[in-house]
């Protein structure tokens, strides 16, 4: 694979890697000024791993996609995966992070990773994958509610709507990229 030098490439790299570093440092700084934040080395390792995954994913997306829409779709997808995983692990989407119903949300990143691999990062396949991810996002609180979890709380409905809209927006960006390549 040939790596092309791009105009402005240093700026996006600085934003991605520098932004990830600042996000990782934020809880460390917060721990110095308040007792409300008490992270363990494991917490930092998990967040660091998620941010590394996202930053490397953005690097791959920049090389795999030539259009701005593809790159924005990839960055949005990766950001949402990291945010969903971090929120779910830290406080839980449904109730407490210890509530078993929150494990349903692990299916969403799994669907996205499997779909990305199966589609070989092609935009049409990624569009379908993210449409499926949106469906799983909507199904998770329904399944949780059927199992007796407090899934109809307003914050769960808002999180479901926001993440579903994000998955669908990324799907639309990939779909538009696929259509422009076909013509």
Q: Place 63 in a pLDDT band, splitting at 50, 70 and 90.
A: confident
Full-model pTM: 0.84
Q: Which residue has the higher pLDDT, 13 or 77?
A: 77
Give me the residue spans of the domains in the chain: 9-182
106-133 core/surface letters (b: 16 or more CB in 10 A; e: else): eebbebbeebbeebebbbebbbbbbbbb
Q: What is the pLDDT of residues 81-127, one digit of tens each?
A: 999 999 998 889 998 888 999 999 999 999 999 999 999 999 999 99
Res 8: pLDDT? 52
């Amino acid at each position: 694979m040939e790596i092309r030098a791009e105009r402005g490439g240093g700026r996006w790299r600085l934003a991605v890697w520098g932004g990830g570093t600042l996000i990782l440092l934020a809880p460390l700084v917060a721990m110095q000024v308040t007792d409300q934040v008490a992270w363990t080395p494991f917490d930092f390792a998990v967040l660091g791993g998620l941010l590394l995954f996202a930053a490397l994913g953005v690097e791959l997306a920049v090389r795999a996609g030539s259009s701005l829409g593809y790159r924005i779709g990839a960055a949005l997808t990766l950001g949402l995966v990291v945010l969903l995983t971090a929120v779910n692990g830290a406080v839980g989407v449904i109730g407490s992070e210890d509530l078993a119903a929150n494990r349903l949300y692990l299916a969403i990143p799994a669907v996205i990773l499997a779909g990305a691999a199966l589609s070989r990062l092609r935009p049409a396949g990624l569009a379908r994958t993210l449409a499926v991810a949106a469906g799983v996002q909507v199904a998770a609180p329904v399944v949780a509610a059927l199992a007796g979890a407090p899934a109809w709380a307003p914050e769960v409905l808002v999180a479901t709507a926001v993440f579903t809209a994000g998955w669908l927006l990324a799907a639309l960006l990939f779909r538009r990229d696929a259509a422009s390549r076909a013509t």
